[in-house]
Structures are given as C-alpha cells and as structure tokens.
Amino acid sequence: MKRSDRRIHFGGDYYPEQWPEEVWAEDTRLMKEAGVTMVTAGVFAWAQVEPRPGDFDFGWFDRVMDNLAQAGLRVCLATMTASPPPWLTRLHPEILPETEDGRRKWPGGRQHYCPSSPVYREYATRLVEQVAGRYAQHPALEVWHVGNEYGCHIRQCFCDVSAADFRRWLGERYGTVGALNEAWSTAFWSQRYDSFDEVLPPRLAPTFANPSQQLDYWRFSDDALRQCFLAETEVLRRVTPDVPVTTNLMPHHKPVDAFEWARHQDVMSLDFYQDPHDPDTHLSAAYNFDLMRSARGGQPWLLLEQAPSAVNWRPRNGPKPPGAMRLWSWQAVAQGADAIMYFQWRQSRGGAEKFHSAMLPHGGTGTRIHREVSDLGRELGSVPEIAGTRSRADAALLTDWNSWWALELDSRPSTALDQALINRAHHRALFDAGVACDVLPPSSELSGYKLVVVPNLYLLGEDDARRLAQYVEGGGQLLVSFFSGIVDGCDRVHLGGYPAPLRELLGLRVEEFWPLDEGVSVPVEGVDPGGPLGAPGTEGDLWSEAVELEGAEAVAVFRGGELAGRPAVTRHAYGAGTAWYIGTRLHRAAMRGLMDQVRQAAGVGPVLAGLPEGVQATVREDDEHRFLFLLNHGDEDAVVELPEPMRDRLGPYGTDRVTAVTLPPRGVAVMEH
C-alpha cells in the first residue's frame, strides 16, 4: 500500500449491485461519516458485469467507482471471478466440481468451479482483462483483490478434468512412472502403475487410499487453486504493474499453503471471524495474525474481512458484546495489520447472508453496531502513524502445510491429532507468557531467533532436520513435540529408529507409540520436584510414547500406565544449545510451565514484564515511532505498569505522559514512547 497516504485503512465489502442506484450517494455519505477509507468492491459482480457471454456491461460499475472516487474513497478492487454466472455453467457444465464419490456440486451457491478447469480459467482471465484494462487508471484503485477465499467451499475436486490435470502434475513432479511407484510405495496392495494414464485422484475407495497419493492430492489441489490465482495475477501484473495484488486467505485453512501463496502476493490479507461464543477466540486470532505477519517477513498485512457483530454460518450466531469488536480489531492492528475491514458495508435484504451483521445494519445508523463501527473508524483514523510500523520476535513457531496434510491422513497411530489445535496449544504457552512469536515454515533462516518451537512436525525432510540441528549447535533452544520427524516428503518412514533425522539432536529414540484414548490422561512428574513440571496433578493426554534416552536427560517421567517411569519430557545439550522434547500433550498449566523454563533458558522475555493475566502487549515501531499496544482480554480491570512515562494515543489520559494505565475488561490502550 502506498506509504504517501499513511493510515490504517478502514472499511468493508461493498455490494452496491444489491441496492437501487439512489442508495449509492447515501452509502458514500455514511461511509465518510463512519471513517471509512477503503471498500472492497466487485467480489461477486460477474453476472452483472457480463450478463451474457462476452457481452460486458460495466456502465453501472463505472458509476460505482466514480462515486467512490468522488467521495475520496479507495477501492480494493476484486477481479470479479469468485462466482461463475449461471450462463457459464449452462454453456459449460463440465466446469462444475465433483466430490470424491463422484457427486457434482451444482450452481446456486457460489465457487462452483473445478480449479483445474481450463474453461473456467479462460472465461475468468477474459473477464480480468476487461476489469484490469477498464480500471487501470481509475483514481480510486488501491489494490487488487484476486478471486475470493480460494478453497473455501471447493477444497479439492475429483472430476475427470482434475484427474487429467493431476496426471500432468505428477508427470512434472516425478518424470517417470517408476519414480511415482517408488514415491507412493505402490508395491503395497498391488498398486503398481504401468503408466501415468492409470492414475486417478484418491476417489472414494473400499478402504484407505494410498497415503502418498492422498498427500500429493493435497499438494496438487493447493497448486490448482494457486494456478487460478496466478492466471489472474499474470493479467494484473501486465496491465497494472504498479498496483499491489492480494487475495483474502482464510485462517487455519488446510487447503491453501499460506507460506507458498505469500511468495506470489504483494501484501498478505486475512479474513478472520472471531467467535463471540468462544472464550479463546482471541488466541486463535493471535496465532493466525502472527502467521500473517510472518508470512512475508514481518510486512504489515490487511484484515480484509471480519464481522461487525454476528455471522450467519455457525450453528448459533450471537452478536459481539459491546467493546469486543473494538478489542479484536485493535488486536489485529497490534499484531501487524494495516487495514481493518469488514464483511460487509450494508446488510443485505435478501440472500443467504441477510442475517450476517454489517457496518450499516438493517436498523440503520441508530444502532449499536453502527455506532461502534463509526467510533472505531474515527479512532483508527487518529493514529495514522501506526501504518507501516513493524514488530520483532525472539521466538518462532515452525509449521508446514505438507506435514499438516500428512499428519491428519487416515491409517496412523491416532486419528485424533489436529495440527491447528496442536499449534495453537504451543502458541498459547508463549502468548500467555506475553512473548512475541513469529510463525514460519521449517525452511526459514532461524539464526536470528533465541527459541524455536516445533509442534508435531510429522513430515520432515533431511535438509530441514539438518537446519534444526545447526540452529541448536549454534546455541539455539529448540522445543520439539511428539510424532515429529517420522516420515519423508512421500510419507515414507525415515528408517533407523524414530525420529531418525532428529535422533542425534534430541538424544533419544522412540521405540513405540502409545496414543491415548479420548478422555484418558496419564500422570506426569517432573524429575525436579521444585521445577515447572513438579506440581502434583500434572498430566498429559492424547499421546504417549516409549522413549529411550541416548544422551538426553529426563525432565519429567510418566507416573502411571504402561509407560510408568519412562521419560515424558527430555532435554539434550547439543553443541552450544539445547534440544527439548515432549512425548505427550501436556495440559495447559504444565505446558506453560515447561515453555517458561525453556524460554528462560533461551533468554526470551515477555514484551512487557509484570503483565496482568489476560492482558496482551505488543510493540510496533519504526525509526520515528514506538507504539505499545495493551489489550485486556480478561474479565477484570487490569492495571498495567509502564516501563517509562508514555503518551496515550487513544484517549482517556489526555496528552500527559503516564506511568500506568487501567484497562477495563475489553479495554484497549495504544501508548507511545
């Protein structure tokens, strides 16, 4: 985004096509009053701008753009390809996607296209040529919004078009069918292929489909979605080389490898819908916001969608209580966002999302939602210098989509392992301690971090394993959790004793996996009774394993069950650093205790010492400014002592410098040094 007009952008999805044209002038007037600076437009406009094949009608959209420009508003302009119009699927029903059991997904909703379809891509790029050419010079154009939430409804398609594309993709990946047979271990169950022509997607089979084939299908499907994105992006970069390109990713979104997609975008953007029914919603947000910020090396990102209040798509959809939307919006800014946007501006009258909240509700401007939205718009507008500032972290959490896809396949020791939950449990132990954390892929440069946390990295290549060893050798503190380093990139076990590529580094061997039944916990006891795992009642669940020490020392042992007396947590001095290992899922307090011990060994402290329970603190800074964000996610008033007298940029303390602030529940303070 352009540095010249430095500000935190504020606004939302705008669908003027749902309303008579007389309403549009009121829209821009009210947007200005609410502090809106940018809207996302055109996301679902395909059927209106191309009502018949090749017959383009942009007149109405020109007026929308001009109206916005006249009001001084910027546009995050969609490529309009997110939902094919009815004529396209009538003309080409072969673009419709199919499920793994061969059922077709019909039009009538949205995103009903096979990502591999050359026909869909051809019509989509033809439209993008029109949109890009027409609005290239438009004064309102700020950033391109390609597609919409790729993989939201169609994660994988199993149709014949996809099958042919998969065979092509495999040919490029493996070269020969012999290499494919080797990679997929097809000597098992008579699965040997004699030619690529025999290969199919992992469609519904009588029993477990080949796991390597399933893993490759995740990779292929991610790539097919990305090719749709790239086909459109190619047009945009050619026609408007200076306009940044983004696409709105979803949180914890398994079909789309955010790190890989980050390489092809100019700015990352995320849609995050906090759940007011979930007391931990800010923790899930914290993890995803850290990932967004880290994916492009700390560059500010855009919160492109959130709900002003209720959504319509959970089983129950209560509103956000007063102050929650403000708190969670500031949380995004505190964790690196340079835009706070909503779905959507004006609440729909009809259609599937009419009960989804909007910045301008059915009840109009005299509503709590509209007041809270407008107040936030003004507030964000009062601190424009935040835009472009960055944060730094001493801790990194590593995760990898390939490993995620492989971890959650069928036919493993436990099907209860959930990568997103596991990652969040580790992230939470840092979050609760007030520690800043980046979320990165294992191929990252790690030497700048004092602490690296690796939750369940089941699939791990030799190179990445070596990188971890070098990191520890050089003095790093590494914390690895169970069932890591088990298979290679083809889901083949690394031979030589689990986890073979990490054995020397961790100083141990895992002889057997002992996954635990749901609801079953095993007592765990710290070897040092005064240490963090020494508290009575410490437990692990989900997983346990038979660890044999080969140089590591036990930090805690199992105190019950078949593994009583065997190590549950270990530590191994390696080079100038230490590699820690957890062989179970520690309950929250124990996990926090262990993480504190590890991070203290690493010399990693919180952003602000002495932070009250429930308060999040982050720093964003540049050469001129240093902002301290304080957010009270707890239920009680919290008094935060500041490290030095600071100026309150949002309000209650006026312009005087203060040395402490009191935050009510859901309170926010933006302090400046």
Backbone angles phi and psi of 447, in degrees to 5: -65, -20
Q: Which is nearer to ligand GLA, 17 or 160 (CB)?
A: 17
Task: Provide the CB-side half-sphere exposure for 365 (13 A, CA).
Answer: 10
Please report how close the Cβ of residue 304 comes to ligand GLA at its closest, in angstroms: 8
Q: Which is nearer to ligand GLA, 228 or 547 (CB)?
A: 228
As a residue count, the chain comes to 673
Please report how close the Cβ of residue 38 comes to ligand GLA at its closest, in angstroms: 16
Which positions from 273 through 302 interact with ligand GLA, judged by CB under 6 A?
Answer: 273
| Whether residue 344 has a cis bond before it, omega within 30° of 0 | yes
Please report how close the Cβ of residue 148 comes to ligand GLA at its closest, in angstroms: 5
Q: Does 640 bind ligand GLA (CB under 6 A)?
A: no
Please report how close the Cβ of residue 15 comes to ligand GLA at its closest, in angstroms: 9
Q: Which is nearer to ligand GLA, 10 or 272 (CB)?
A: 272
Please report how close the Cβ of residue 142 comes to ligand GLA at its closest, in angstroms: 18
Residue among 24, 289, 343, 543 that touches ligand GLA (CB under 6 A):
343
Cα(125)–Cα(227) distance, rounded to whole angstroms?
12
The 10 Å Cβ neighbour count of residue 140 is 22
Q: Does 306 bind ligand GLA (CB under 6 A)?
A: no
Q: Are 394 and 434 in contact (CB under 8 A)?
A: no
Alpha helices in 250-334 (DSSP H): 258-262, 281-295, 324-334
Q: Does 216 bind ligand GLA (CB under 6 A)?
A: no
Q: Does 305 bind ligand GLA (CB under 6 A)?
A: yes
Please report how close the Cβ of residue 139 comes to ligand GLA at its closest, in angstroms: 26
Q: Does 148 bind ligand GLA (CB under 6 A)?
A: yes
Backbone angles phi and psi of 276, in degrees to 5: -65, -15
Q: Which stretch of DSSP H or E encloses residue 614?
A: none
Name the CA radius of gyration of the chain, rounded: 26
Of 137, 141, 339, give the one whose Cα is nearest residue 248.
Answer: 339
Please report how close the Cβ of residue 336 comes to ligand GLA at its closest, in angstroms: 20
Q: Does 432 bind ligand GLA (CB under 6 A)?
A: no
Q: Does 345 bind ligand GLA (CB under 6 A)?
A: no
- Lookup: tokens for 589: 């307090």
Q: Are 227 and 120 in contact (CB under 8 A)?
A: no
User: Site for ligand GLA (CB under 6 A): how many residues?
Assistant: 9
How do beta strands 521-526 and 451-454 pair?
A: unpaired
Q: Which is nearer to ligand GLA, 271 or 539 (CB)?
A: 271
Catalytic residues: 149, 305
How do beta strands 141-145 and 74-78 pair?
A: parallel
Sequence-distant (≥ 6) Cβ neighbours of residue 205 within 8 angstroms: none
Task: Provide the CB-side half-sphere exposure for 558 (13 A, CA).
Answer: 24
Q: Does 356 bind ligand GLA (CB under 6 A)?
A: yes
Which positions from 1 through 30 interact with ligand GLA, judged by CB under 6 A?
Answer: none
Sequence-distant (≥ 6) Cβ neighbours of residue 284 within 8 angstroms: 251, 252, 278, 424
Please report how close the Cβ of residue 313 comes to ligand GLA at its closest, in angstroms: 6
Q: Does 269 bind ligand GLA (CB under 6 A)?
A: no
The 10 Å Cβ neighbour count of residue 115 is 28
Q: Does 271 bind ligand GLA (CB under 6 A)?
A: yes
Residue among 27, 142, 149, 216 that touches ligand GLA (CB under 6 A):
149
Q: Does 311 bind ligand GLA (CB under 6 A)?
A: yes
Q: Which is nearer to ligand GLA, 15 or 431 (CB)?
A: 15
Q: Which is nearer to ligand GLA, 325 or 506 (CB)?
A: 325
Cα(148)–Cα(49) distance, rounded to whole angstroms?
17
Q: Are 125 and 235 in contact (CB under 8 A)?
A: yes
Residues that bind ligand GLA (CB under 6 A): 148-149, 271, 273, 305, 311, 343, 353, 356
